[in-house]
A and B are shown apart, each in its own frame.
Chain A
Amino acid sequence: EIVMTQSPATLPVSLGERASLSCRASQSVSSNLAWYQKKPGQAPRLLIYGASTRATGVPARFSGSGSGTEFTLTISSLQSEDFAVYFCQQYNKWPLYTFGQGTKLEIK
């Protein structure tokens, strides 16, 4: 099983600040890495796939980078609606998806 490790677990940030979230895979997943945003009571929303491609309708302030085992989600200037839990997922081998534990963005 590919283990996905996200850090930090919680990230306090201020409005307008830049946030960088990390995701590490225990073995290479190539670029088969996705990032999702999760708010309470809502469906997970796909933000980034292929490690760096924004999904339809996702604002340009969200960007993804990395390949292999190290990945980063960057939110360039945090808006109020961005405070949520973010999790990464590897989809390198269907259907053995594995997910990170999530990073919660909190208002500082």
Chain B
Amino acid sequence: EVEMVESGGGQVKPGGSLRLSCAGSGFTFSRYSMNWVRQAPGKGLEWVSSISSYSTYMFYADSVKGRFTISRDNAKNSLYLQMSSLGAEDTAVYYCARGDTTSLTDYWGQGTLVTVSS
């Protein structure tokens, strides 16, 4: 069974940093691109960042470019999101999602909550 489990969320002060992790299981992790998507309270879903299967390509939404860094460790079946210079606008549930060969995000984790507050 395909499963993704996010961790690392929590409360952080404005300007602070946080590192999210996503552990994948039930599939060959290295064959898939991976994505981070977030949902702020009361808002819709927003794509945050994506990384290709062997980390050749990495993409970021303009709202996080220069502040967030996506990475992966295929040996550990894990995806990461290093977040810095966090602001209130980054408060959201962060989901990791697997991307198949057509770029469809077919499986998602349950999400991890990041709260930026003083």
Q: Are B110 and A34 in contact (CB under 8 A)?
A: no
In contact, A89 and B105 (Cβ under 8 angstroms):
yes
B45 CB contacts on chain A under 8 angstroms: 87, 89, 99
Contacts of A94 in B (CB 8 A): 33, 50, 99, 103
Which residues of A lie under 8 Å from residue B47 when comparing CB positions? 95-99
Answer whether residue A80 sits at the interface, using C-beta atoms and an 8 A cutoff: no
Number of interface residues, chain B, beta carbon within 8 A = 24
Within 8 A of B (CB), among A35-69: 36, 41-46, 49, 55
Residues of A within 8 A of B75 (CB): none
Provided the pairs A95-B50, A95-B59, A96-B47 are in contact, do residues A34 and B105 lie with their beta carbons within 8 angstroms? yes
The distance from the CB of B50 to the nearest CB of chain A, in whole angstroms, is 3
Tell me what chain B mostly uses at the interface: helix, strand, loop, or mixed.
strand
Q: A residues 62-100 with Cβ under 8 Å of B?
A: 87, 89, 91, 94-100
The residue that A95 contacts in the complex, of B35, B46, B108, B110, with Cβ under 8 A, is B35
Q: Nearest Cβ distance between residue B59 and chain A, in whole angstroms?
A: 5
The answer to whether the Cβ of B29 comes within 8 Å of any Cβ in the partner chain is: no
The reply to whether A97 and B102 contact each other, CB–CB distance below 8 Å, is no
Interface residues on chain A, number (Cβ under 8 Å) = 23
Q: A101 near B: Cβ within 8 Å?
A: yes
- Name the one of A34, A55, A87, A96 contacting B44, with C-beta atoms under 8 angstroms: A87
CB distance from B92 to the nearest CB of A (A): 13
Contacting residue for A43 out of B46, B59, B111, CB 8 A: B111
Distance in angstroms between the alpha carbons of A26 and B59 in the assembled complex: 22
- By the criterion CB–CB under 8 Å, are A100 and B35 in contact? no
A41 touches B102 (CB 8 A): no
**Interfacial residues of chain B within 51-91, with CB under 8 A of chain A in the complex:** 59
Q: How far, in whole Å, are A94 and B37 apart by their CA atoms in the complex? A: 13
B97, closest chain A residue (CB): A44
Q: Which of A42, A46, A55, A101 contacts B110 (CB 8 A)?
A: A42
Could you tell me which B residues sit within 8 Å of A by CB distance? Answer: 4, 33, 35, 37, 44-47, 49-50, 59, 95, 97, 99, 102-111
